[in-house]
């Protein structure tokens, strides 16, 4: 939602899920020097698991589906095309074909410098002056991002833990990550398995066939019993680690933003965010956004879950909620003079 909102601002280049160009296919963001050709290869390597989730009918592609492209999920879609499709609102192919020879010819430099060059290239093409990248779950690699981009400013976006856990439980790529973690833990001495039903704790490696690697078994994948409290625990773990890392960023270079006020107090929240980003508060942009957001999207866990399921979910999310409340209070305090 926020990526789409920022993408409508006339000054902002809104890059959605760019870091997943690396994460989906490699599992991490590389941080070594590389040639332009290697960098291009790394952001175009097909994410096999992602494509197979789409092919199995488990996942609807969020970014490429509305656009016409020569790439498809049977032969493989370069991850950068999903970014470009969402960015341009049309076929990514032309922009992809223009970038391919240019990026491939760039000299050897760090991954961060390649990213800076690519972002600047896209911003210049589209007439934007401020670049915002948003990838879901990037809080997990905040340490690496702040080290790679010491000049960057950060927005710590928070949503209610129970609502986020419920959303995570329904998102196929996160279900895949969860099932893979469970498959690694089953049969080991790892703690936390007590939250899972006996059929999971007693599973054999063969029971995970069709669940952790393609081709995926759609019916078994969607029915695999992952308790909501697992996603709540994982959300809380990421939030607590993220609040610890954000404190290591210079105090005047980060702010917090809550999802719920963004829905109900859209205009003042975005006015504050625009000021932090250094862009003007465009009236037409604010008018469009106020019509675009859906205030009723908050409170989904309380509205949809039985009290018996909601109470333990809130309990496992509590530590993450407290961690964010504390860091938000620190963000509200005046920044120290430097």
Number of CB atoms found within 10 A of residue 109's CB: 15
pTM: 0.93
Q: What integer best gives the mean pLDDT of the chain?
A: 93
Is residue 72 predicted with pLDDT exceeding 80? yes
Q: Residue 110: phi, psi to the nearest 5?
A: -70, 160
pLDDT bracket for residue 150 (50, 70, 90):
very high
Q: Tokens in use for 179?
A: 């099932």
Is residue 78 predicted with pLDDT exceeding 80? yes
Percent of the chain predicted with pLDDT > 90: 84
> In this predicted model, what pLDDT tens digit does every residue of 151-177 receive, in sequence order?
999 999 999 999 999 999 999 999 999
How far is Cα 165 from Cα 233, in angstroms, rounded to an integer?
A: 8
> In this predicted model, what pLDDT tens digit does every residue of 270-308 receive, in sequence order?
999 999 999 999 999 999 999 999 888 899 999 999 999
User: Residue 312 contacts by C-beta under 8 Å, 6 or more apart in sequence?
Assistant: 229
> In this predicted model, what pLDDT tens digit does every residue of 163-221 receive, in sequence order?
999 999 999 999 999 999 999 998 787 778 889 999 999 999 999 999 999 999 999 99
What 8-state DSSP symbol labels residue 252?
A: G
Tell me the helix, strand and coil percentages in the chain, rounded to 5.
Answer: 60, 5, 35
Handedness of CA 257, 137, 254, 14 (dihedral sign): negative
Exposure on the CB side of residue 327, measured as CA atoms within 13 A:
26
What 8-state DSSP symbol labels residue 138?
A: G
pLDDT bracket for residue 246 (50, 70, 90):
very high
pLDDT of the residue at 313: 98
Highest-pLDDT range among 52-66, 76-90, 252-266: 252-266
pLDDT of the residue at 62: 60
pLDDT of the residue at 193: 85
- Rg of the chain over all Cα atoms, to the nearest angstrom: 21
């Amino acid at each position: 939602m926020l990526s789409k909102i920022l993408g409508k601002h006339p000054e902002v280049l809104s890059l959605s899920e760019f870091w997943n160009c690396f994460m989906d296919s490699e599992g991490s963001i590389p941080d070594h020097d590389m040639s332009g050709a290697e960098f291009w290869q790394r952001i175009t390597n097909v994410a096999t698991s992602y494509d197979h989730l789409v092919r199995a009918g488990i996942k609807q592609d969020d970014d490429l589906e509305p656009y016409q492209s020569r790439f498809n999920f049977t032969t493989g879609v370069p991850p950068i095309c999903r970014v470009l499709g969402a960015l341009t609102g049309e076929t990514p192919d032309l922009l992809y074909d223009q970038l391919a020879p240019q990026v491939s010819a760039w000299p050897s430099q760090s991954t961060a410098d390649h990213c800076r060059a690519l972002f600047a290239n896209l911003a210049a093409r589209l007439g934007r002056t401020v670049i915002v990248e948003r990838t879901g779950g990037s809080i997990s690699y905040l340490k690496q991002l702040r080290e790679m981009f010491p000049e960057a400013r950060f927005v710590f976006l928070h949503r209610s833990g129970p609502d986020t856990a419920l959303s995570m439980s329904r998102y196929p790529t996160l279900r895949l990550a969860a099932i893979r973690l469970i498959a690694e833990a089953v049969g080991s001495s790892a703690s936390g398995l007590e939250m899972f039903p006996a059929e999971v704790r007693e599973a054999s490696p063969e029971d995970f066939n069709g669940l952790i690697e393609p081709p995926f078994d759609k019916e078994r994948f969607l029915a695999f019993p992952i308790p909501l409290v697992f996603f709540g625990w994982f959300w809380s773990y990421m939030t607590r680690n993220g609040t610890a890392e954000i404190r290591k960023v210079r105090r005047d270079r980060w702010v917090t933003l809550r999802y719920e006020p963004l829905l109900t107090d859209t205009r003042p929240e975005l006015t504050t965010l625009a000021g932090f980003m250094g862009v003007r508060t465009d009236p037409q942009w604010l008018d469009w956004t106020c019509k675009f957001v859906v205030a009723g999207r908050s409170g989904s866990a309380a509205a949809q879950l039985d009290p018996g399921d909601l109470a333990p979910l809130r309990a496992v999310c509590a530590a993450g909620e407290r961690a964010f409340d504390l860091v938000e209070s620190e963000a509200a305090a005046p920044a120290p003079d430097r």
